[in-house]
Structure 1
């Protein structure tokens, strides 16, 4: 089994697409835009039953179809279902995910494949037990700025309470993983340092990965992969621009009402653990009382619907093919249940 993977972990909206396209400028790394294979298909595995030759073949077909309609195309990568099935030494989604990413590396003749599905940190223990041992890059950003970014995005939670909970959960999973892995397999990268001292940070990362640094890594914005990604969604539009070195502390102006207090009540200890300054040390604990949470849940759902309502039509269109595949998989499951 090849362990030539790089897994970026943390929370989305932390500069992970920036890091991905920077790494993709290296001839030694294939870093395609992530279709989030594990996060999407792990919850669906029960519908395939016990994975045998028949059900695994269907899973391969579904996952390959899903990757092929990713909002940002995997240019130059041809995924042959039959070849992937034949190469699978076990009928497992982890195997399938690895083989698909390895195909991206083979297509580029690269040393590494790189997966930017940051929530895969929640499957890290299972991946390690399975025998997959990628190098992990923990990219972290001030969670309050992450929350600001998610509030404007087409995806993700929208209420500050839910955003704080998600960020806290993700960072804690990364910190726990850092504690148990050897130093040669775990690299911590701070977003704020990356955008203010990019060459130094990327050189450090290249040393960790044992690859050569190349100046093109900082000229990512002119690359084809950056342009394809920027064209596929409004929330990736900055990839066509050079690094925005002052893209920090936005929450100080953008947070409203009790946003700061709620975020720091939920995730303040994690902010401190990652060396971020806290501002609401005397926040009213009642802001996150159980009595408030039902209201926050309701507001979160309303805000999600509003985000979809104002989304750019092309962004929704780019996501529609993947949603259709998931709908078909779920409808097959429903039919199966009804026929029993």
Structure 2
């Protein structure tokens, strides 16, 4: 059995590729649990994990319950106690992943946990046999999708900054692992040459390609996931082969110029060609200020999302904020 960790920015096809692999007979791809992404970078705040285990277990349970789409695993306090000794969070994570995989009757699990490069040393230490999958998308299309997403906060400025940071982190992590061992492909190639792209990725993961992967949208759990989150609705449809290079219709020229200046070098390294001549630094600074001044934090369209989803997202946001803002746990023995 092996964990496969996905290296992919938000709004770049991360949920799509997860569900494509979930349709494989030997791979399950559940929705993000947020457990590694949120808890691992904040473990230091819990102090001695044996002393704070009750609190950490409670946070783990609550965070797991607030994920966007249900897993087959229903995590309980007793399971947490059975899965790992007090203080052993790596074993708890591993046991959760293993149990979900077993409930699907599969050998592997593909995990979407955002920005894993920020806690890569932890993952590599405690999951030494894990595999990785890196997928990127044109930052202009990614930012366009981000801008149009109802639930994701911010717009083009935040999206472009995130994309740039992510590509730095993921490419560095990929080279540390060994680039030849990490499948790397673009969202665009997945849409245009899906079978060839997936066959190559599977071969590097030592998994046989299966044609069911191209029929991911027919799976009942994928259909259910597409209906529980407004920004996931496309995963319930077949691959949209022409869903790229749409940014020219959806972004303003100023937005495109901003993205291209900010991501110029990264775009060149990944094969994405700018539309405009590069701005001067002073022009970019003025444009950044202009766009930042009008960028919304929470979009008006968020209020059109079904109330149940808004409530769940609100609870998740509050829980994540609580964990990130948690004061350092004081060891009672000190």
**TM-score past 0.5 threshold:** yes
Secondary structure of the structure 2 residue equivalent to 1:138:
strand
Give a deviation string over 1:65-123, Cα, whole Å, max 9, x none.
3212322111x323243344444368354443332222211222321111112311321
Matches within 5 A, 1:47-196: 47-52=45-50, 54-74=51-71, 76-88=72-84, 91=87, 93-183=89-179, 185-196=181-192
The Cα of 1:257 is off from its aligned counterpart by: 4.3
Answer yes or no: is the 8 Å Cα contact 1:11–1:119 preserved in 2.
yes
TM-score (norm 1): 0.86
One of 34, 37, 41 as aligned partner of 1:36 = 34
Secondary structure of the structure 2 residue equivalent to 1:41:
helix
Aligned length: 330
Answer yes or no: is the 8 Å Cα contact 2:27–2:106 preserved in 1.
yes
Answer yes or no: is the 8 Å Cα contact 1:122–1:173 preserved in 2.
yes
Change (3 A) 1:223 1:284: same
Answer yes or no: is the 8 Å Cα contact 1:60–1:96 preserved in 2.
no
1:299 aligns with 2:294: yes
- When the two chains are superposed, the root-mean-square deviation of aligned CA atoms in Å is 2.8
More displaced 10-residue stretch of structure 1: 143-152 or 112-121:
112-121
| Structure 2 residue aligned with 1:319 | 313
Answer yes or no: is the 8 Å Cα contact 1:21–1:225 preserved in 2.
no
Partners of 2:283 and 2:301 in 1: CA distance = 24
Change (3 A) 1:124 1:282: same
The Cα of 1:324 is off from its aligned counterpart by: 5.4
Partners of 2:206 and 2:316 in 1: CA distance = 35
Structure 1: runs of 5 or more not aligned: none
One of 241, 244, 259 as aligned partner of 1:245 = 241
Partners of 1:298 and 1:313 in 2: CA distance = 29
Partners of 2:142 and 2:155 in 1: CA distance = 12
TM-score (norm 2): 0.87
Partners of 2:241 and 2:166 in 1: CA distance = 25
| Structure 1 residue aligned with 2:214 | 218
Partners of 1:132 and 1:90 in 2: CA distance = 22
More displaced 10-residue stretch of structure 1: 260-269 or 113-122:
113-122
More displaced 10-residue stretch of structure 1: 39-48 or 119-128:
39-48
| Structure 2 residue aligned with 1:200 | 196
Secondary structure of the structure 1 residue equivalent to 2:36:
helix
1:269 aligns with 2:273: no
Partners of 2:178 and 2:329 in 1: CA distance = 47
Partners of 1:286 and 1:155 in 2: CA distance = 33
